Amino acid sequence: EAVDGGTRVTETWTDDRRSWPDFVANAFDRVATGGKTFAQFQRGNIRTTLKRLKAAVEEDNARGAA
């Protein structure tokens, strides 16, 4: 999305495990993510992805300006 001075990037995630009972999904999530809910785990992953994307774009821009 174009914004003043740049581009806004938005990443989203949807839990599509509709057929899993909540207690099964919650138990699996805590084992698979080290004690977090899957939503908490994914928020961290999304934050990491966006930080890395920002760093890559800024590095590319800095090289282009040099």
Can you tell me the mean pLDDT for 8-17?
Answer: 88
Can you tell me the mean pLDDT for 4-18?
Answer: 88
Any idea which residue has 């040099």 for tokens? 66
pLDDT confidence of residue 15: 87
pLDDT confidence of residue 6: 85
Instruction: Kindly report, residue by residue over 13-52, the tens digit of the pLDDT.
Output: 888 888 989 899 889 999 999 998 888 999 999 999 999 9
Q: In this structure, is the dihedral angle defined by the CA atoms of residues 12, 17, 22 and 26, taken in order, positive or negative?
A: negative
Instruction: Kindly report, residue by residue over 54-66, the tens digit of the pLDDT.
Output: 999 999 888 887 6
Please, are residues 42 and 13 in contact by the beta-carbon 8 Å criterion?
Answer: yes
Q: Where are the domains of the chain?
A: 37-66
